[in-house]
Amino acid sequence: MEYFPPALENLVEQFAKLPGIGRKSAQRLAFHVLSLSPEEAEAFAQAVVEAKRAIHCCPVCQNLTEGDGPCSICASPRRDTSLICVVADPKDVVAMERSREYQGLYHVLHGVISPMNHVSPDDLHIKSLLERVAAGGVSEVIMATNPDTEGEATAMYLSRLLKPFQVKVTRLAYGIPVGSHLEYTDDATLMRALEGRREM
């Protein structure tokens, strides 16, 4: 049985709660923190507290943003507000923005429907998407969830929900291999997927 002073043990436990971090890695990280100067350790702790305090979901698109108002994309006068691109994750917005091809707005679901992981439609930001479309001014909703089983099922589910609103619903034309993620797709492929999108 290993013995650490309680404060160190607590630090190890906090690191061990992070995704993908086992007990051994947690110990390594805790010892690293102990080797920092007091200023460095303070800056690290402050970054955690400050990120948690400052980052919120944009009230319009649900992407992560600082402050209470809409994010910079929703607030931009240069974006095409008639287009909404639906993605699973804030990281997917970064991927789409990187391609610099897309000029519309986004809607971040914060996950996909996954019975296996106990994620139901109620756990996702779907109601706010329907409200945006219902409010009018949207001509097309682009489904850009990943081309895996759960991403496809989520896109199908949403397209059915959106049918009554008489809005065009399209799906990215994935030349992207099945099972791959938007996040790791190169810009050229993403651009082709966007240009070749098809009505669902």
CB of 105 to Zn ion, least distance (A): 7
Cα of first residue to Cα of last residue in the chain, in angstroms, is 58
Report if residue 58 touches Zn ion, rule: CB under 5 A: yes
Report if residue 85 touches Zn ion, rule: CB under 5 A: no
| SS3 label, residue 155 | helix
> How far apart, in Å, are the Cα atoms of 155 and each of 34, 42, 100, 119, 126?
46, 44, 23, 15, 11
- Token pair listed for 127: 């109601």
CB of 95 to Zn ion, least distance (A): 16
Report if residue 169 touches Zn ion, rule: CB under 5 A: no
- Report the run of H or E that residue 23 belongs to, with start and end: helix 23-35
Report if residue 74 touches Zn ion, rule: CB under 5 A: yes
Nearest to Zn ion of 70, 121 (CB atom):
70
Among 11, 12, 61, 95, binds Zn ion (CB under 5 A): 61
Written as one letter, the residue type at 180 is S
DSSP-derived letter for residue 173 is -
Q: How many chain residues interact with Zn ion (CB under 5 A)?
A: 7
Binding footprint of Zn ion on the chain (CB under 5 A): 58, 60-61, 63, 70-71, 74
